[in-house]
């Protein structure tokens, strides 16, 4: 039985691991490496518990740092594990520094690399995630694209060999877990009723590290009539402290700050929100899966299909009137699923067995 080393380290990646590992372990030996890029219990540890993710064989505990230092630490630590385990295949997800570290190690040691969620492009190279995606795709052996557009993006860069459109493993995860979420949690726990609140997540550096942009976002929330539920990412909390923006939150009774949510809690609150405001790539998709209108506080998105379908729109908090946009937000047009049929994991494993 061939040995697959899976490298992950953030909340969204752990959701994908849960969806794929259930199927992967039927045909391969898996060694699971958690880099610890998301390192506290609320940000990542709770995911292992509620999603029944196999316990990591290696927990590297890298934690937060600058991009260069964090990636460098990962390269050293992951290489040591690879040399010890001697895997036949390395598997990575998405576009994080954990992804890039795994891709570089696989390339340097001549180990076949599987990239799940290949072919995404925002065409903004100032985003570190964009660089990670491009570099990983260009050294991958098998590239599993979540959409037709992702396949087209790869073809434009001359990447056609080993490319397979299988759908999105996050859709697998949502279909599998939504019913579990509704059974495990209740809106009443948050004193909410369906369709009467805005759910928001803000964590990307382009929003949190710019004091004017972060202030504009909080002021926009303060101007809304609806309640805003804001699970506060540690980075965002730190920047609110640094920039002295607490006065906005203190005068805005409709903004409710809560701790980061577990995956199942987040699914529940996404499903019943009036709208979602986010800068997260994963939350954009989950909003689409839940058929809830989404505002993305970014200048570009890698999930352009959701924009074209009318379920998502890009908003600049410095120049656009977010309260007015939310007041007039509408549902997108009914269309067939953009990201597969919820069987992406099975297709991935079938192709891996055939090709590797």
C-alpha 221/C-alpha 296 separation (Å) is: 14
Catalytic residue among 38, 115, 203, 233: 203
Q: What is the pLDDT of residue 318?
A: 96
One domain, residues 153 and 272: no
Looking at the fold, whether 203 and 242 belong to one and the same domain comes out as yes
| Average confidence (pLDDT) over 15-23 | 94
Q: Is residue 24 part of a domain?
A: yes
Does 18 fall in a domain?
A: yes
Cα dihedral 296, 298, 303, 305, rounded to 10, equals 70
Nearest residue to 87 (alpha-carbon basis) of 28, 142, 138, 44: 28
Q: Is the pLDDT of residue 209 over 60?
A: yes
Mean of pLDDT values over 89-109: 96
Q: Is 355 a catalytic residue?
A: no
Same domain, 35 and 134: yes
Please state, rounded to an integer, the average pLDDT across all residues of the chain: 92
Convert the pLDDT of each residue in 113-159 to its tens digit.
Answer: 999 999 999 999 988 899 999 999 999 999 999 999 999 999 999 99
Give whole-number Cα distances, 161 to 38, 139, 142, 191, 216, in Å: 33, 11, 8, 51, 45
pLDDT at residue 65 above 90? no
My answer on whether 109 and 15 are in the same domain is yes
* φ and ψ of 271, to 5 deg: -60, -35
In DSSP notation, 235-262 reads: HHHHHHHHHT-HHHHHH-TTEEEEPPPP
pLDDT at 10: 83
Task: Place 103 in a pLDDT band, splitting at 50, 70 and 90.
Answer: very high
CA-closest candidate to residue 340, choices 152, 179, 172: 172
Q: In what order do the strands lie in the sheet with 142-145?
A: 58-59, 29-34, 3-8, 89-93, 113-116, 142-145, 163-165
Q: Which residue range(s) make up the domain with 56?
A: 3-168+340-355
pLDDT at 334: 76
Going across the sheet that includes 312-314, the strands are 255-258, 227-231, 197-201, 275-278, 294-296, 312-314
Question: 41: pLDDT confidence band, cut at 50, 70 and 90?
Answer: very low
Q: Tens digits of per-residue pLDDT, 234-243?
A: 889 899 999 9
The model's confidence at residue 39, banded by pLDDT at 50, 70 and 90, is: low
89 and 213: one domain? no
Q: How far apart are CA 294 and CA 310, in angstroms?
A: 9
The pTM for the full model equals 0.89
Q: Do 14 and 157 share a structural domain?
A: yes
pLDDT above 70 (res 37): no
Is 288 in the same domain as 350? Answer: no
Instruction: Please report whether residue 233 resides in a domain.
Output: yes
The mean pLDDT of 253-262, rounded to a whole number, is 90
Count of domains forming the chain: 2
197 & 302 share domain: yes
In a domain, 280, yes or no: yes
The pLDDT tens digits of the residues spanning 323-349 come to: 999 989 988 887 778 899 999 999 999
Do 256 and 163 sit in the same domain of this protein?
no
Looking at the structure, do residues 121 and 33 belong to the same domain, yes or no? Answer: yes
Report pLDDT for 46: 65
SS3 (DSSP) at 333: coil
**Do 70 and 100 share a domain, yes or no?**
yes
- Please report, for residues 176, 257, 266, the alpha-carbon distance to residue 55 in angstroms, rounded to integers and kept in the order given: 20, 31, 22
Query: Is residue 112 domain-shared with residue 45, that is, in the same domain?
Result: yes
Q: Is residue 332 part of a domain?
A: no
Pairing of strands 275-278, 294-296: parallel
Question: Among residues of the chain, what percentage have pLDDT more than 70?
Answer: 97
Angle of CA points 98, 99, 104, to nearest 5°: 100
Q: Could you tell me if 21 and 48 are in contact, meaning their C-beta atoms sit under 8 angstroms apart?
A: no
In DSSP terms, 231 is beta-bridged to 258
pLDDT at 52: 78
| CATH code at position 260 | 3.40.50.2000
Confidence of residue 101 (pLDDT cuts 50, 70, 90): very high
pLDDT at 70 exceeding the cut of 90: no
**pLDDT value at position 44?**
52
187 in Cβ contact with 268 (< 8 Å): yes
């Amino acid at each position: 039985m061939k040995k697959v080393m899976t490298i992950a380290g953030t909340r969204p990646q752990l959701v994908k691991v849960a969806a794929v590992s259930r199927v992967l372990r039927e045909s391969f030996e898996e060694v699971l490496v958690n880099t610890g890029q998301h390192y506290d219990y609320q940000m990542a540890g709770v995911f292992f518990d509620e999603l029944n993710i196999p316990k990591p064989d290696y927990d590297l505990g890298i934690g937060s740092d600058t991009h260069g230092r964090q990636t460098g630490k990962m390269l050293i630590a992951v290489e040591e594990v690879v040399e010890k385990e001697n895997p036949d295949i390395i598997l990575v997800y998405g576009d994080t520094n954990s992804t890039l570290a795994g891709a570089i190690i696989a390339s340097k040691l001549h180990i076949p690399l599987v990239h799940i969620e290949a072919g995404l492009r925002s065409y903004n190279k100032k985003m570190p995630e964009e660089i990670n995606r491009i570099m990983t795709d260009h050294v991958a052996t098998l590239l599993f694209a979540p959409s037709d557009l992702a396949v087209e993006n790869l073809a434009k860069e001359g990447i056609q060999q080993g490319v397979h459109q299988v759908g999105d493993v996050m859709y697998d995860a949502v279909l599998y877990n939504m019913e579990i979420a509704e059974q495990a949690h209740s809106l009443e726990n948050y004193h909410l009723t369906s369709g009467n609140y805005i759910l928001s997540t803000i964590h990307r550096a382009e929003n949190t590290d710019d004091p004017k942009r972060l202030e504009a976002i909080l002021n926009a929330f303060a101007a809304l009539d609806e309640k805003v539920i804001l699970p506060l990412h540690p980075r965002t909390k730190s920047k609110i402290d640094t920039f002295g923006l607490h006065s906005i939150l203190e005068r805005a009774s409709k903004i409710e700050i809560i701790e980061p949510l577990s995956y199942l809690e987040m699914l529940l609150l996404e499903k019943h929100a009036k709208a979602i405001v986010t800068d997260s790539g994963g939350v954009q998709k989950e909003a689409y899966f839940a058929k809830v209108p989404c505002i993305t506080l970014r200048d570009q998105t890698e999930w352009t299909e959701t924009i074209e379908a009318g379920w998502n729109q890009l908003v600049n908090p410095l120049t656009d009137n977010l309260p007015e946009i939310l007041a007039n937000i509408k549902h997108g047009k009914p269309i067939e699923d953009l990201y597969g049929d919820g069987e992406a994991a099975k297709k991935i494993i079938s192709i891996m067995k055939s090709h590797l």
